Structure formats: C-alpha cells, structure tokens
C-alpha cells in the first residue's frame, strides 16, 4: 500500500501532467527563456495554496456557493479565447520571433536584439497572464480543491503528508517544464517553427475556452 506522501505525489502528477492552457503557457515562456523562474514559482505556489485550501475544507464552502464556479467558468472562457486569438494573430502575422542561441553574444547591453531573436517581455503582463490562466480555470478548483482535497481527507491525520506529496508533484512538474523547455530550442530556432507553435497554442486555447461554457454531453 502506498504511503500518503507517495499517493499524493502520484495523484498530483496524474492531475497536472496534461496538455492545458497553463502548461502551454509555461512551455512557451520556457522556450523563450522569458521570466521562467517567476512563472514556475507562481504556478507551483498557486497549486500549493489550492491544495492547502482543499485539504483544509474550503472546498465544502465553495460547494455551498455553486454560482461562484459559474462566474469563474465564464471569465476563464473569455480569457482563454482572447489569449487564443492573440496567439492566432502571432501565427498569422509573425514578428519573426525565434530562439537566437548565441546570436547575441558579444553585443552591448544597450544594443537591440538581433533579428529573429526572442526578446523578453515586461514582467507584469507575464505574471498577470500566468495568474489568470491559473485562477480563472474552473477545472483547477474541481481537480485540486474538490477532488484532491477529498482524497487527502480520506487519509485522516496523514492528510497533510498526502498534500505535501501533491505539492511536491507541482513543484517538480512546473520547474521541470519551465527550465527543461529550453532543450527543445533546437527545433524552435526559426520563425516558421514559432508560427506553428503559436497556431497550436491558439487552437488549444480557443477549444478549451469554448469547452468551458458548452453544455456537457449526457
């Protein structure tokens, strides 16, 4: 029988390792090497807070106000569709973004980046986007707060050990995804590759956004 720590680690990974809006955003930031530490930290810290809320019983409070999840659902859908449209615009009208590797080495700090090299964006918009993709996703409440919190509480006095395992899974995943994404840089060294990536992101984001507000089958 698995220990509560291992059980939490396993369930945490099973819930988080999937193609979704948040993971695609983390992947893209990692590929661009743009505020990677900040993005990974926000995602892992948000997950840890949501897990703690679920284990502490806040999920029961949310069940008492189901309209709140509905509000989050529509806000999340609008945000995802909007973000998807921006990605589609980048794919349709590219800025020539690519991974420059060592192209900029030896240049002065005040020099503009070489053509085709990804430039860093301002920190505030990146952080706000990351927070929105995390906290405006109703599935994060269903999976992390309700489901994971419910399973954790079946472990009785060991529920916080279970929660620690789930939190560890989030930390390993987000930091691994964010910092490991650069290993894919050799395949994304051209503007055309980034157009394809943005097109995929656009499709996934818009589909996810629409799916949040469509009535479920059955």
Total domains present in the chain: 1
Model pLDDT, residue 108: 41
Model pLDDT, residue 62: 62
- For 102, residues 6+ apart whose C-beta sits below 8 A from its C-beta are none
Query: What length is written for the chain?
Result: 218
CA 18 from chain center: how many Å?
10
- For 78, residues 6+ apart whose C-beta sits below 8 A from its C-beta are 209
Place of tokens 């945000």: 79
pLDDT along the chain (218 residues), means of 10: 81 80 90 92 95 80 68 81 85 62 39 46 91 87 81 84 94 94 73 79 83 64
112 part of a folded domain: no
86 part of a folded domain: yes
Closest by alpha carbon to 141, among 11, 23, 53? 53
Can you tell me the distance from the alpha carbon of 211 to that of 208, in angstroms, rounded to the nearest whole number?
Answer: 5
178 part of a folded domain: yes
As to burial, measured by CB atoms within 10 angstroms (0-12 exposed, 13-18 middle, 19+ buried), residue 184 is middle
Model pLDDT, residue 95: 60
Model pLDDT, residue 48: 94
Model pLDDT, residue 100: 46
46 part of a folded domain: yes
Closest by alpha carbon to 184, among 39, 16, 29? 29
Can you tell me the distance from the alpha carbon of 81 to that of 132, in angstroms, rounded to the nearest whole number?
Answer: 13
Model pLDDT, residue 13: 86
114 part of a folded domain: no
Closest by alpha carbon to 46, among 159, 158, 173? 173
Which range marks the domain in which residue 75 is found?
4-99+119-213
Model pLDDT, residue 29: 92
Can you tell me the distance from the alpha carbon of 207 to that of 218, in angstroms, rounded to the nearest whole number?
Answer: 19
């Amino acid at each position: 029988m698995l220990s509560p720590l291992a059980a939490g680690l396993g369930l945490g990974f099973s819930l988080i390792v999937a193609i979704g809006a948040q993971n695609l955003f983390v992947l893209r930031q990692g590929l661009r090497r743009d505020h990677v530490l900040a993005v990974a930290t926000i995602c892992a810290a948000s997950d840890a807070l949501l897990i703690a809320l679920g284990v502490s019983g806040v999920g029961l409070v949310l069940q008492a106000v189901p309209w709140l999840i509905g509000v989050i659902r529509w806000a999340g859908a609008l945000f995802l569709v909007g973000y998807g449209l921006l990605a589609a615009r980048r794919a349709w009208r590219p800025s020539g973004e690519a991974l420059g590797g060592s192209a900029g080495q030896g240049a002065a700090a005040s020099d503009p980046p070489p053509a085709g090299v990804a430039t860093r964006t301002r920190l505030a918009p990146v952080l706000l986007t990351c927070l929105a993709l995390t906290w405006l996703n109703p599935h994060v409440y269903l999976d992390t707060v309700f489901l994971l919190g419910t399973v954790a509480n079946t472990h009785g006095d060991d529920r916080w050990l279970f929660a620690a395992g789930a939190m560890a899974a989030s930390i390993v995943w987000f930091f691994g995804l964010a910092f490991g994404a650069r290993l894919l840089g050799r395949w994304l060294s051209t503007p055309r590759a980034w157009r394809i990536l943005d097109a995929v992101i656009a499709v996934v984001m818009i589909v996810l956004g629409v799916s949040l507000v469509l009535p479920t089958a059955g």
